[in-house]
Amino acid sequence: MQLPPSELERHLHAIASREFGGPVPQSTADAMRESINDHHLREANDWLLPLLQGLLAGRPTSGPVEIPAGYPAGENGLANLLADLKAEPWLHVDDYGEGVIWRLPAAGLEVFICRETASRVRGAHTYQIRRLVG
């Protein structure tokens, strides 16, 4: 028996649908679900759902938002999810080591994840939702 979609899966599916400009292919939905389950991301966490909600609302952040490092609940959980889905045509991700840029052209937004931060929290990274330029 298959579990119902998690909140994270529903949000990610809505983002993919917007980027596709219509229904998400079943193969993409299956890949998202598999990766979310493989990386133990079914449970909502304190930073990932607000990030996805901000993307769905088209709302840039006012500045960097601290997120935990680590796996699976930290930045590395999202990085692994994006890496798994990188071949998907709707996902425009550039992971260059010090950071990740995830572009969402249909939304006119991008997410910048910085792994090099002078954070108040030891080991924390940051993300920022920004408008796409150009």
Strand ranges (E), the chain: 65-67, 92-95, 99-104, 109-114, 125-131
Interval 37-93: pLDDT, tens = 999 888 767 889 999 999 999 999 998 888 887 788 888 888 888 888 887 877 888
Q: Where are the domains of the chain?
A: 7-131
Average of per-residue pLDDT across 15-42: 92
Burial of 102 (0-12, 13-18, 19+ CB in 10 A): buried
- Contact (CB, 8 A) for 45 and 36: no
